[in-house]
Structure 1
Amino acid sequence: MQVATPLVTVAPSRLKLWSALTSVYILWGSTYLFIHFMTERMPPLYMASLRYIVAGTLLYSYARLTGTPRATRTEWRSAGIIGVLLLTIANGCLTVGLQYIPTGVAALLGGMLPVFLLTLNWVSFGRQRPTNLALAGLVVGLIGIFFLIKPDKMQGTGGFDANLIGASLVTFGNFSWAIGTLLTPRVSLPAPNISSGIQMLVGGGLLLLISLCVEPVTPLSILDAPAKAVGSMFYLVVFGSIIGFSSYAWLARNASPQLLSTYAFVNPVVAMLLGVTFAGEIFSSQSLVGAVIALIGVILITLGRK
């Protein structure tokens, strides 16, 4: 199990840096496909909740067994709030949204996270006006989103209503993820591994409660899950939640924000290629044009950050 590397005073090696980046590029890009596989024949919120409860238990237990101090009540509350924003709301919306739209389109919509970060930091959190280049990127990105969800050309898993529902869920999830991201440095959190474990336990636990209320499941429904769903869930636990998230957390402390943000460009490409290859997804020419426009917008926003 890979864990976040403690902060050190020396610069990280290029090998370690690019190993972590490759992990985030490939593993996080592949999570869209495995979420699709995990929820093909199982309720989405239920499977997502088990993914985070298992991963959170492993991370929290490992951190405590290796001597990481336990979190205070204030730190538990802060990490729990972040977990609800990032995992219960954001990832819950993504998991349900993938029932309606292709994985590649969902990844493209997820790649628009810098748009929400830019806007929220401007109007609320940081009160910092973005540069003209970043504003241009915001406009270009929104145009790309329009082409992505325009119903007459896009080929999803349903008609216009399905496309609109899926895109709306993923977009709202991005909004919640942006709030959680901007809130994180403003609250008191414990050590990284303990914090990640708490976020997953609280976020996954709340997802399970919601699932038990709205989905036809019991706590032991996993015993009836097909092997493909269970295997996909454990892939997401190990490679998406533990290795991928730990790599991202390490990069957040050791790499420049500009370099780290490049995952928003690579994840959609990985997700789209995997979706076409293994899930039989089809993209119209208009959807591909929208994808390119949206990525150009994200690049402009990243280059235009102060």
Structure 2
Amino acid sequence: MTAAPTSAPATPTPTLLWISLLTVYLVWGSTYFFIKVAIGSLPPLGMLGLRFLVAGAVLYPVLRSRGLPAPTRQGWLWSAVIGTLLLFGGTGLVTLAERSASSSVAAMMIAVSPLFAALFGRIWGEKTGGREWAGIGVGLLGIGLLNLSELHATPLAAFLLLLAPICWTFGSQWSRHLPLPSGLMNSAAQMLIGGLVLLLLSVVSGERWHTPTAASAWALVYLIVFGSLLAYSAYTYLVIHTRPALATSYAYVNPLVAVLIGVGFGGESLRPLGWVALAVIVGGVGLMAWPRKIVKVAEAPA
């Protein structure tokens, strides 16, 4: 018997879900650029560990003061597992890859997430509709076009960018069937433990800290407030209440946002074929989002 997820309210609304989607689309699209800026003078794993630990340390006492119960021992355990998969396996590997890949390329490669989400979702009986599969296919076609004209990364960076969405989507789908903490406490617990794991890995790997530049410091502040406190909490909410393919459709929109920011502020460039590919990617998202209601139909616990 699988435990029912306990990490969100029982009555989600389409308005809140759309707001959550837009938040993840826009904010996470921008974080690729800010990660690139942050690791300009900060160690990758250490920067991420500080980002998530601070965000969790801010969110946790606020939630406790509002009466949310502390996670149980079992809740902390599963938060550690999922937090490590998502924050190290997902975000951490992307950050390491960005040492030798542009922010635009990183976002483009992560766009395979909806495909992995649909595949992993089937392990737990999730069904993916025909139009959703079509949307995934169209999105992947767009990624193929992008890679033909824009992919410039080392083999190691490309491997990390492929492994990252596997870790992220598997952890996301698994989390829907685990007894995780309630509401936003789920996000707080994952960020606290995930941040500690990342800092430990930073120490073990021998990363060195230096005085950061002003740009790196402000990028880290942005990542803490918007990338973690706001967007990560919105994503946790989406994982519980909507379909796997739609919850991870941010991966198709993020490249568009990342490219626009990279071109506008980071001095990156995109060829004409790249812009065509981005239009194809957005069309794939439309196919996934349009056919059914955004709110996931409630199911009886197995």
User: Is the alpha carbon distance of 1:303 and 1:176 closer, same or farther for their aligned partners in structure 2, counting shifts above 3 Å?
Assistant: farther
Query: How many residue pairs were aligned?
Result: 287
Contact 1:112-1:298 within 8 A present in 2 as well: no
1:230-249 matches, cutoff 5 A: 230-249=217-236
User: Is the alpha carbon distance of 1:305 and 1:149 closer, same or farther for their aligned partners in structure 2, counting shifts above 3 Å?
Assistant: farther
Q: Could you list the per-position Cα deviations for residues 105-156 of structure 1 after superposition, in whole angstroms to 9, with x for gaps in the alignment?
A: 222322331111112223x33274x444444444444444344334xx4364
Q: Which residue of 2 aligns with 1:115?
A: 115
Q: Which residue of 1 aligns with 2:97?
A: 97
User: Is the alpha carbon distance of 1:155 and 1:245 closer, same or farther for their aligned partners in structure 2, counting shifts above 3 Å?
Assistant: closer
User: Is the alpha carbon distance of 1:178 and 1:105 closer, same or farther for their aligned partners in structure 2, counting shifts above 3 Å?
Assistant: same
What is the alpha-carbon distance in structure 2 between the residues aligned to residue 8 and residue 126 of structure 1?
A: 21
Instruction: Find out whether 1:191 has 2:182 as its counterpart.
Output: yes
Contact 1:83-1:202 within 8 A present in 2 as well: yes
Q: Which residue of 1 aligns with 2:194?
A: 203
What is the alpha-carbon distance in structure 1 between the residues aligned to residue 136 and residue 17 of structure 2?
A: 29
Q: Which residue of 2 aligns with 1:125?
A: 124
Instruction: Find out whether 1:154 has 2:150 as its counterpart.
Output: yes
Q: Could you list the per-position Cα deviations for residues 30-70 of structure 1 after superposition, in whole angstroms to 9, with x for gaps in the alignment?
A: 11111111011222111111101111111112222222111
The AA in structure 1 aligned to 2:255 is P
**SS of 2:176 mapped into structure 1:** helix
Q: Which residue of 2 aligns with 1:269?
A: 256
Q: Which residue of 1 aligns with 2:164?
A: 173
Distance apart, 1:225 and its partner CA: 1.7
Flag structure 1 segments of 5+ consecutive residues without an equivalent. Answer: 157-161
What is the alpha-carbon distance in structure 2 between the residues aligned to residue 38 and residue 204 of structure 1?
A: 16
What is the alpha-carbon distance in structure 2 between the residues aligned to residue 61 and residue 71 of structure 1?
A: 12
TM-score, normalisation: structure 2: 0.81
Flag structure 2 segments of 5+ consecutive residues without an equivalent. Answer: 1-6, 294-302
1:211-290 matches, cutoff 5 A: 211-217=202-208, 221=209, 224-250=211-237, 263-290=250-277
**SS of 1:167 mapped into structure 2:** helix
Q: Which residue of 2 aligns with 1:159?
A: none
- Residue range with higher mean Cα deviation, 54-63 or 279-288: 279-288
What is the alpha-carbon distance in structure 1 between the residues aligned to residue 240 and residue 89 of structure 2?
A: 25
**SS of 1:41 mapped into structure 2:** coil
What is the alpha-carbon distance in structure 1 between the residues aligned to residue 31 and residue 98 of structure 2?
A: 11
C-alpha RMSD of matched pairs (Å): 3.1
The AA in structure 1 aligned to 2:9 is L
The AA in structure 1 aligned to 2:51 is R
- Residue range with higher mean Cα deviation, 133-142 or 78-87: 133-142
Distance apart, 1:100 and its partner CA: 2.2
Contact 1:155-1:282 within 8 A present in 2 as well: no
**SS of 2:217 mapped into structure 1:** helix
